[in-house]
Amino acid sequence: MTALRGGYSTQTRAASGMLLSLLLAFMCAAETPEEKGLAIATESTLRDTGWGDYETTATMVLRNRQGDESTRELRIRYLEQEDDGDKSLVVFDRPSDIKGTALLTHTHKAEADDQWLYLPALKRVKRISSSNKSGPFVGSEFAYEDLSSQEVEKHTYKHLRDEALDGLPCFVIERVPVDPDSGYTRQIVWIDQGEYRIQKVDFYDRKDALLKTLSVKGYQLYLDKYWRAGELNMINHQTGKSTQMLWTNTLFRKGFTSRDFDQSSLASVK
Amino acid sequence: MKFPLRYSLLLVLFCAAAQGGEWSGNIAGELRLFPSEPLHGEQHAGNLSLSLDPEFHHEWEERGQSLVFNPFLRLDQHDPERTHADVRELYWQKVAERWELRLGIRTVFWGVTESQHLVDIINQTDLVENLDGEDKLGQPMMDLALIGEWGTLELFILPFFRERTFPGARGRLRAPLSVDTDDPEYESSAEDHHLDWALRWSRSVGDWDIGLSHFSGTGREPQLKLRLGGSDFLKLVPYYDQIQQTGLDVQLTKGPWLWKLEAIHRSGQAESFAAVTAGFEYTFTGVFGTAADVGILAEYLYDSRGDDAPLPFENDVFLGVRVGFNDTQTTELLAGAIVDPQSGATFASLELSRRLGSNWRLNVEARAFLHFPETDPAYSLRNDDYLQAELAWYF
């Protein structure tokens, strides 16, 4: 699981850099909405490349239609991969009956992600199926795929229009998931034109009805280059439920290696 | 028990002095109801029990070193054998880039299948806890793991043996004669001080997770021998052989499919034998437009000893269903049955779990033993169907 970051994700290589230059070169000529959409997504990713690793703490507040609340606390660490999807390790602290439960994800650009779950009561590491990407993450309004590493390759894109969102000039693009297992037919994404950060996403379900809206707030700049959101709000329009996700204690360049993201680390992290 | 208790006293002192450590865990009340008349006069129709399962954890050197302490205590209303204390874990750990070293008492799980755990052999089963064999006694060990591109190689040195726990005369879920755990017999003259060892290599390659292991030493699964207790009554005593066991566990993860295999070969305990559990789990996600996942499980259980096997599972089929409701209360259900197609003998089980509020969890468990023939080792459990409710408070 890789949380929604400032932009898309990290994996922009020299190749996509070249692709971007080519796209920009053609921009002045006849650029189709698809080309412009891809160029925006690629630029967003390019700007969020090279962060290396970081760890952060998340608090999720789940609310139902009646306003009842329930809270999740988790610690997450990420490792950027040059030629593949990112690696992440999530450890739960609350609710206390799942304390110590840990989820390790090795995301991939094309093939299915690899996931392992550590169950502290049985001291057991289980390889689990990652095909349930449309399912809810710990009972929240976030699906696994909403929180997954957002590789450029996982969607196709189309620029729709430019418009201001709360006074911030934004590109509005439509992205369509490549994976047939996705729970969405499409997403409409607002990306600000200054820093290429996701500001808002509308999610459309398999029947193409508006399902959820994500609003992103409180962006902070780290290492003078990388934007990370402080607060994500996901509202489910069909059930009236919502989940607020607050990010704190974000620390970059902890010096993690792939050893901090293997099955041994899954069992020994507490 | 001598060793763990001595260590834990030291650790309690250490914990008192330690800064930055952290306690978590749970305290749980359990009620078991047995609807059928007990087979033995000293047994009861219901049972209350209380357990305490705290864990202390402290790490320093930026995750490089850590200390874990997990004692366990159960107080049982009727069975003094089930009233017991254990040190599940008490170890120091050092994690480096290419190796990991752990010293102390640990619980280690190996394997992939659901219906039984053939390959899992490091820890002794704490049978009084639950007859599913998933509760384990802490095992004293030195464990060195070497980590490379070729996978993980783990070496275990196991200096002290832990005896299996058995329900006492007043407990349910027992053999017709109760097992006298005060008088175990060993093949080795070193008895419970025989130096056991084990090796395990494991690796994940793409969709495959593979483990290959070997264990040499005191078998965890005793033979039960009939002995004269005093002048006029018979009793069962556990006899622990010296065994060699090689194990293989493999899982292939392909989309919604999990394909699983566990196989062992064991020598030293009567005739050499092989046993296999193999099957799959297929998960339907978001069923009937809900958020719930439904997994279908099927496994085949084979033991080359056939009817001579001390376990009831020698040529059987396990069918099960797992439901994850993916709700705020993390409600989960696992129902299944192991069936012997020849005799019709069936072991059926249901487990339901749900969080209440933010710190409580309710676990309900029902187990039934159906149509077991007189020749089956589980025949003595025929009147011990039970319903169990456990309410746990987590801190």
Residue B131 domain boundaries = 2-394
User: Chain A within 8 Å of B358 (Cβ-Cβ)?
Assistant: yes
User: Chain B within 8 Å of A100 (Cβ-Cβ)?
Assistant: yes
Among candidate residues B214, B80, B65, the one with its CA nearest the CA of residue B154: B214
Q: Which residues of chain A have pLDDT under 50?
A: 1-14
Half-sphere exposure of A184 (CA within 13 A, CB side): 25
Q: Is 60 exceeded by the pLDDT of residue B9? A: no
Among candidate residues B216, B126, B130, the one with its CA nearest the CA of residue B162: B126
Distance CA B97, CA B149 (A): 12
pLDDT at residue A204, as a whole number: 97
In a domain, A263, yes or no: yes
Could B326 and A136 be called an inter-chain contact, meaning their C-beta atoms sit closer than 8 Å?
A: yes
User: Chain A within 8 Å of B209 (Cβ-Cβ)?
Assistant: yes
pLDDT at residue A27, as a whole number: 56
Q: What DSSP character marks residue B179? A: B
Helix (H) or strand (E) holding B17: helix B2-17
Shortest alpha-carbon distance between residue A117 and chain B (Å): 12
Residue A153 domain boundaries = 14-268
Instruction: With beta carbons under 8 A apart, name residues in chain A contacting B256.
Output: 129, 131-132
- The beta-carbon neighbor of A97 closest among B68, B93, B361 is B361
Shortest alpha-carbon distance between residue A259 and chain B (Å): 7
CA B134: distance to chain centroid? 2
Percent of chain B with pLDDT over 90: 81
Give the C-alpha distances (Å, rounded to integers) separating A252 from A74, A178, A196, A224, A262: 17, 31, 20, 11, 20
Shortest alpha-carbon distance between residue B80 and chain A (Å): 25
Mean pLDDT of chain B: 92
Question: Is B320 within 8 Å of B334 (Cβ atoms)?
Answer: yes
Distance CA B194, CA B251 (A): 33
Distance CA B72, CA B74 (A): 7
Token couple for B382: 């025929």
Instruction: With beta carbons under 8 A apart, name residues in chain B contacting A99.
Output: 24, 394
Instruction: With beta carbons under 8 A apart, name residues in chain A contacting B359.
Output: 95-97
- The beta-carbon neighbor of B291 closest among A64, A135, A259 is A135
Instruction: With beta carbons under 8 A apart, name residues in chain B contacting A264.
Output: 95, 100, 145, 147, 152
Mean pLDDT of B358-369: 96
pLDDT at residue A11, as a whole number: 41
Could A263 and B57 be called an inter-chain contact, meaning their C-beta atoms sit closer than 8 Å?
A: no
Q: At residue A64, what are phi and psi to the nearest 5 degrees? A: -95, 180
Question: Is A190 within 8 Å of A199 (Cβ atoms)?
Answer: yes
pLDDT at residue A1, as a whole number: 45
Q: Is 90 exceeded by the pLDDT of residue B51? A: yes
User: Chain A within 8 Å of B326 (Cβ-Cβ)?
Assistant: yes
pLDDT at residue A22, as a whole number: 59
Shortest alpha-carbon distance between residue A43 and chain B (Å): 31
pLDDT tens, B99-149? 999 999 999 999 999 999 999 999 999 999 999 999 999 999 999 999 999
User: Chain A within 8 Å of B327 (Cβ-Cβ)?
Assistant: yes
pLDDT at residue B18, as a whole number: 55
Shortest alpha-carbon distance between residue A146 and chain B (Å): 15
Mean pLDDT of B23-38: 96
Instruction: With beta carbons under 8 A apart, name residues in chain B contacting A67.
Output: none
- The beta-carbon neighbor of A122 closest among B109, B256, B258 is B109
Interface of B with A in 95-134 (CB under 8 A): 95, 97, 100, 107-109, 112, 134
Distance CA B198, CA B214 (A): 6
Instruction: With beta carbons under 8 A apart, name residues in chain B contacting A260.
Output: 63
Distance CA B125, CA A28 (A): 72
Helix (H) or strand (E) holding B10: helix B2-17
Q: Is 50 exceeded by the pLDDT of residue B263? A: yes
Mean pLDDT of B318-347: 95
Give the C-alpha distances (Å, rounded to integers) separating B142 from A48, B63, B105: 44, 20, 9
Token couple for B11: 């650790």
Q: How many domains does chain B have?
A: 1
Q: What DSSP character marks residue B18? A: -
pLDDT at residue B19, as a whole number: 60
SS3 B288: helix
In a domain, A231, yes or no: yes
pLDDT tens, A204-263? 999 999 999 999 999 999 999 999 999 999 999 999 999 999 999 999 999 999 999 999
Q: How many domains does chain A have?
A: 1
Give this complex's ipTM.
0.91
* CATH code of the domain covering residue A171: 2.50.20.10
In a domain, A3, yes or no: no
Neighbours of A73 (CB within 10 A): 16
Residues 6+ apart with CB under 8 A from B231: none
pLDDT at residue A32, as a whole number: 94
SS3 B79: coil
CA A118: distance to chain centroid? 22
Beta bridge partners of A197: none
Among candidate residues B138, B197, B195, the one with its CA nearest the CA of residue B163: B138
pLDDT at residue A111, as a whole number: 83
In a domain, A92, yes or no: yes
N-to-C CA span, chain B: 27
Q: Is 90 exceeded by the pLDDT of residue B54? A: yes
- Nearest residue in chain B measured CA to CA from A73: B358
Q: Is 50 exceeded by the pLDDT of residue B390? A: yes
Handedness of CA A255, A257, A262, A268 (dihedral sign): negative
pLDDT at residue B250, as a whole number: 98
- Nearest residue in chain A measured CA to CA from B257: A129
Residues 6+ apart with CB under 8 A from B389: B30, B31, B362, B363, B364, B365
Mean pLDDT of B139-168: 96
